[in-house]
Amino acid sequence: MPNIKWLIALGFLSTFILLYLHIGTSIDKWNTQPHPQTNQNKQIGDILIYNRIPKTGSTSLMNVAYELQSSNRYRVVQVRLLGSRHLLSPRDQQAIARNISAWSDLPMLLHGHFSYFEASVLGLDINPVFINLMRKPLDRLVSYYYFLRYGDDILVDKKRSKQGDKTTFDECVESSQPDCAPKKMWMQIPFFCGSSPACWDPGSKWALDQAKTNLVNRYLVVGVTEDLDSFVQVLEILLPKYFSGAVQYLKDTGKSHIKRTKHKDQLSEQTISKMSNSKIYQMEMEFYNFAMKHFKWIKKSLVDDQSNGFVYEKIRPKP
C-alpha cells in the first residue's frame, strides 16, 4: 500500500515538473518573438518626419507624398497642433513617439507645423529621419501676410483671420504695424533649433547656432522652395521607399506648386531695404544661405556626380 501511495505522489510530481517546463518555454518564446505592436524590426527610414515650416511650399511636397503613398506602401499621418503654437510639449513629444513606434505594420511619414524635437531623449526606441524645406525669409513672410488676408487658390471659400484687411505690406511696414514687424521673420531658425522656448527668442545667436548644428547633424536633407524640383529629385534618390516615382509624377502632372496665395502686391525698394537692414532678417538670411550651400553640396554629390567617392580596401577576413 505505501508503494502505491509513493507511486501516485511521484506521478503528480512528474506531471507538475513537465507542466512547469512547458509553461516556462512558452513564456520564453512569447517574450523573444516580435509582436505586431512593437518596432523591433524597424529599418532605417521606416519613420520619416517632415516638420513643415508654414508658407515654404510644403503643401506641394506633401501632395506628392500623398499621391505616392498607395503605390509605395507607406502611411501618412498629419499632426495638427491646436492653437497657433509650433512648439511640442514634452508630453506631446512622448505621445507622438509612442504612437509612431506602435504603428509598425507600414513605414510612416509624419508631418505637421511643429519645431524639431530630439527623439533620442524620450526613452523610446525610435530613430526617425528628418527632412525639411526652407524659403527666403522675406518672401515667406510676405506670402504669409497676404495669405491671411486673401487665402489661396485651393480653399477659395475658407475665411482667413485677416480677410477684408486691404492694407498692403508696404503700408504695413511704413506704419510699423505688428503683422509685418521684422520679428515675424523669426520662424525658420526656431523650427530647426528645437523644443526649447529659448529657440523662439528673436535674434538669439544661440538659437541660430543650434539650428545650423541640427540642420547638418539631425536632418538627412533640407531643400529650398526656390528649387523644389531638385529637392524632389534628391528625395527620390535618398528615400526611394517614400519618393520612388516622384520625379516622373511631377513631369506628368506639372504640380510642382499646387497652392498659391491669391493676391500679393509687389514690394517697394524702400520696404525691401528697411526689412533687409533688420537684425532678424540678416540672421534668417544667414541661416537660409547656410542651408542653400549645404543642399547644393548634397545635390551635386547625388545628381551631378553619381559615381562613388570611395572604395573598400584591406578587408580582413575577406568575405
What is the domain partition of the chain in residue ranges? 47-304
10 pLDDT above the threshold of 90: no
User: 132-170, pLDDT tens digit by residue?
Assistant: 999 999 999 999 999 999 998 776 677 787 888 999 999
Angle between helices 58-72 and 228-238 (to 10 degrees): 30
Q: Give residue-wise pLDDT tens across range 210-265.
A: 999 999 999 999 999 999 999 999 999 999 999 999 999 999 998 887 778 889 99
With cut-offs at 50, 70 and 90, classify the pLDDT of residue 15. low
When pLDDT is averaged across residues 286-290 and rounded to a whole number, the result is 98
Whether the pLDDT of residue 295 is over 90: the answer is: yes
Residue 35: active-site member: no
- Triad 208, 212, 217: Cα angle to 5°: 145
Min mean pLDDT across 35-44, 48-57, 259-268, 270-279 is at 35-44
pLDDT at 119: 87
Greater model confidence, 310 or 75: 75
Give me the pLDDT at residue 288, please: 98
Q: Is the pLDDT of residue 13 over 70?
A: no
Q: What nine digits make up the cell of 216?
A: 547638418
Mean pLDDT within 160-186:
95
Q: What is the pLDDT of residue 21?
A: 46
* Residue from 22, 35, 86, 111 carrying the catalytic annotation: 111
- What value does the mean pLDDT of the chain take? 86
Annotated catalytic residue 111:
yes
Cα 310 from Cα 307, distance rounded (Å): 9
Q: Is a pLDDT exceeding 50 seen at residue 97?
A: yes
* DSSP string covering the chain: -HHHHHHHHHHHHHHHHHHHHHHHHHHHHHHHS--TT--TT--TTSEEEEEPPTTSSHHHHHHHHHHHHHHHT-EEEE---STT--PPPHHHHHHHHHHHHH--SS-EEEEES-----GGGSSS----EEEEEE--HHHHHHHHHHHHHH-BSSSTTPPPTTTT----HHHHHHTT-GGG-GGGGTTHHHHHH-S-GGGGSTT-HHHHHHHHHHHHHHEEEEEEGGGHHHHHHHHHHH-HHHHTTHHHHHHHH--S----BS--PPPPHHHHHHHHTSHHHHHHHHHHHHHHHHHHHHHIIIII--S-S------SS--
Q: Is the pLDDT of residue 76 over 60?
A: yes
Mean pLDDT over 63-76 rounds to 97
The torsion defined by the Cα of 228, 292, 235 and 301, in degrees rounded to 10, comes to 130
CATH code for the structural domain at 47-304: 3.40.50.300
Q: Please, what's the largest Cα pairwise distance for the chain?
A: 113
pLDDT of residue 35: 35
**82 vs 207, more confident:** 207
Higher pLDDT, 307 or 279: 279
Question: Of 86, 113, 263, 294, which one is the catalytic site residue?
Answer: 113
